Amino acid sequence: MFYGVELESRLMLGTAQYPSPAVLQQAIQASGTEVITVSLRREGQGGAGFRDLIAASGCRILPNTAGCHTAAEAVTTAQMAREVFQTNWIKLEVIGHADTLQPDPFALVEAARVLCADGFEVFPYTTEDLILGEKLVEAGCQVLMPWGAPIGSGQGLRNIDGLRAMRAHFPDIPLVVDAGIGAPSQAAQAMELGYDAVLLNTAVAKALDPVAMAAAFGQAVRAGQMAAQAGLMPRRDMAAASTPIFGMADFSASEGM
């Protein structure tokens, strides 16, 4: 549940870089997603046709502050997005490093504090740093979105131990793995760690067949969630026979014959 909204699908899908609006529309439908992310710049470039497309999708819109490098830029962009999309939801991005697109932790907390005080329901794009997560929660965020890897890299979950520790540290906070997911298996892995959702874009938009890939991610997220709920077997350092020894034939008596 995100800010009181219950969702059936645990996949959130970005809307950039698709080969055509028609393919985007088909990918949204194939994925089963109920939340799509849209940047203010993307909406401005697409015009009325793009607005009609996202409205027809029936999905909740999660505007984002992509491209912002300061808290002031992010706050202004979020305020404009709220007017355009008529929602208090905002995916907060404040980029601090040009190459990795890693968020600026200080500006991120500053912007989150301002936006939460202004009535926004903030989804902060962050790292798996526990202290940063605590500061964001203290600022008013009720969701955390740690990266799996740098945006668009397709590297998957680079710090599984860190993500696992974050899940344990914030047991009651919805957590979404955002960025770096490149394959359905990686999305399933995130869900198996107990995360509440996965957000991705490039892996679907840039696939040879975005519609088929969107469907694959939708199924992978569901499979990972089911596995987590069913209870994954613990890892062992040594083998454990699956066939019981009781009832096996004893050939020791015949060794001297």
Q: Which amino acid belongs to residue 90?
A: I
Domain count, the chain: 1
Element housing 92 (H / E): strand 89-92
Give domain status of residue 133, yes or no. Answer: yes
Q: What's the pLDDT at 98?
A: 85
Q: Are 2 and 174 in contact (CB under 8 A)?
A: yes
Q: What's the pLDDT at 99?
A: 85
Catalytic annotation on 206? no
152 is in an annotated binding site: yes
φ, ψ (nearest 5 deg) of residue 204: -90, -50
Give domain status of residue 175, yes or no. Answer: yes
Q: What's the pLDDT at 145?
A: 98
Instruction: Determine which one of 91, 113, 135, 167 is catalytic.
Output: 91
Give domain status of residue 84, yes or no. Answer: yes
CA distance 186 to 110: 31
Q: What's the pLDDT at 247?
A: 63
φ, ψ (nearest 5 deg) of residue 181: -75, 125
Element housing 212 (H / E): helix 210-230
Of residues 110, 106, 102, the one with CA closest to residue 126: 102
Q: Residue 134 is part of a domain; what is its CATH number?
A: 3.20.20.70
202 is in an annotated binding site: yes
pTM summary value: 0.88
Task: Tell me the residue range of the domain where 179 lies.
Answer: 11-230
Q: What's the pLDDT at 55?
A: 84
Give domain status of residue 248, yes or no. Answer: no
Of residues 136, 153, 152, the one with CA closest to residue 144: 136
Give domain status of residue 28, yes or no. Answer: yes
DSSP 126: E
pLDDT-flagged residues of the chain (< 70): 41-48, 245-257
The per-residue pLDDT for range 21-63, each reduced to its tens digit, is 999 999 999 999 999 999 876 555 556 677 788 888 899 999 9
Q: What's the pLDDT at 100?
A: 87
15 is in an annotated binding site: no
